[in-house]
Amino acid sequence: MLTVWTRRAFAALIALLPLPSMAAPILLQPAQVFDGADPVAHPGWRVLVEGEHIVAVGPDVTAPAGARVIALPGMTLMPGLIEGHSHLFLHPYNETAWDDQVLHESVALRTARAVAQARTTLLAGFTTARDLGTEGAGYADVGLRDAIAQGIVPGPRLLVATRAIVARGAYGPKGFEPGVAVPQGAEEASGVDEVVRAVRNQIAAGADVIKLYADYHFQRGEPSRATFSQAEMAAAVAVAHDAGRPVAVHAVTAEGMRRAIAAGVDTLEHGDEGTPELFRAMREHNIAYCATLAASDAIARYHGWDGKGSPPERVAQSVRAFRMAMAAGTPLCMGGDVGVFAHGDNAREMELMQAAGLPAAQVLIAATSGNARNFGVSERVGRIRTGLLADLIVVEADPTRDVSAVRHVRLVMKAGALVVTP
């Protein structure tokens, strides 16, 4: 027999699950619509949703018979946000160090936490997320992606990278007796044959995207160095692309970036040591840049920086690289490396992008239609356009002036299902 507490907890859980789309259309009437592509919001526009899709957009849209009308005075309607770089199986490093998460937290515990963090991400207005590696939790992201897709648990639509791939000996955890088999935060590979095998194994296990580490530090205290050879990188990209999978690459060093660009990757993450020449090359090859400013900011704060005065060099370096990318016209991805800091605080990256000089409307474009294009899902999400999935959010005020407005979410709709209502 269910106790009162159990019944209440069960009811609360059910309330958080997306409601199935009803036959009745929904007409949304905000003060203005940001459509995900035009940097200027459209006052007086309305959006009509039927089933999972947007069926009409504009100033003259009216409610058909039987439609539910939701008035949203003073608010902005916009596409659901797309997180470009997250790790749902990690939680903030000031709670538990990365090594301890990988070595001492069970996959069951990490999966339970990831389920909660996926829900938090969705409620924050992020209806799609690219998750770039479980960091030691195996292929659990595939199961989480599928559970969300089947409506078992609430969360954003996920694009998952499963285990990620690193050069043998170049990742972690480290610091154990040589020869002792230590669980790693990613799949190790060495040589073209092993790298190709790892890519194919991860695709077979359900990877939507392949994640490679172009550089890392071999031992503690050493600087990052290029790890995979040019031949290894090129082979991995070729195999992934043959299978229709994009490739995301962790690259901090200039040499790692150079090899990734030459290999033809699709997105490049971090890029702290990037140069104007490298960012121009990324533009020429249409490689999107995910700066992850929020990760550098968070780590600096964990080490004592209070956010005031001159920033630590790592923070300053990441901002310089982002500004070089802006100046070069490099396609920009919005992704904060969430998991280094708290899930649900995804807007932190958007705020830092604006603080670094990118206009608020361009930040919003990066987080909606830009990421949709970067990740190959622009025919489904990322804009408010007839025929696309009705992934929509409503926020207070005008985020095209100040992106912090996206922290004040009043409605979340995913594929036509209302998750948060005003």
Q: What is the pLDDT of residue 11?
A: 42
User: Which has the higher per-residue pLDDT, 51 or 178?
Assistant: 51
What is the arithmetic mean of pLDDT over 267-275? Answer: 98
pLDDT category of residue 205 using cuts at 50, 70 and 90: very high
Reported as a single tens digit per residue, the pLDDT across 71-101 is: 999 999 999 999 999 999 999 999 999 999 9
Q: What is the pLDDT of residue 20?
A: 47
Reported as a single tens digit per residue, the pLDDT across 142-192 is: 999 999 999 999 999 999 999 999 999 999 999 899 889 999 999 999 999
Tokens standing for 207?
């990877």
Res. 17: pLDDT tops 80: no
Q: What is the pLDDT of residue 175?
A: 87
Q: Using CA atoms, how far apart are residues 202 and 213, in angstroms rounded to an integer? A: 15
Cβ atoms of residues 36 and 369 within 8 Å: yes
Res. 367: pLDDT tops 70: yes
Q: What is the pLDDT of residue 36?
A: 98
Q: What is the pLDDT of residue 3?
A: 45
Q: What is the pLDDT of residue 6?
A: 39
C-alpha distances in Å from residue 375, one per residue of 7, 120, 142, 275, 372: 41, 22, 17, 24, 5
Please list the residue range(s) of the chain that carry CATH number 2.30.40.10: 4-80+383-420
Res. 108: pLDDT tops 80: yes
Q: What is the pLDDT of residue 282?
A: 98
Instruction: For residue 156, say if its preceding peptide bond is cis, omega within 30 degrees of 0.
Output: no
Res. 219: pLDDT tops 90: no
Q: What is the pLDDT of residue 23?
A: 63
- Identify the residue whose tokens are 């590979």: 189
Reported as a single tens digit per residue, the pLDDT across 114-136 is: 999 999 999 999 999 999 999 99
Choosing among 2.30.40.10, 2.60.40.10, 2.60.120.330, 2.120.10.30, the CATH entry for 4-80+383-420 is 2.30.40.10
pLDDT category of residue 12 using cuts at 50, 70 and 90: very low
Q: What is the mean pLDDT of the chain?
A: 94
Q: Using CA atoms, how far apart are residues 292 and 270, in angstroms rounded to an integer? A: 6
Q: What is the pLDDT of residue 16?
A: 52
Reported as a single tens digit per residue, the pLDDT across 294-343 is: 999 999 999 999 999 899 999 999 999 999 999 999 999 999 999 999 99
pLDDT category of residue 202 using cuts at 50, 70 and 90: very high
Q: What is the CATH number of domain 81-345?
A: 3.20.20.140
Catalogue the E-assigned strands of 152-293. 157-160, 165-167, 187-189, 210-213, 215-216, 225-226, 247-251, 267-270, 288-290
Please list the residue range(s) of the chain that carry CATH number 3.20.20.140: 81-345
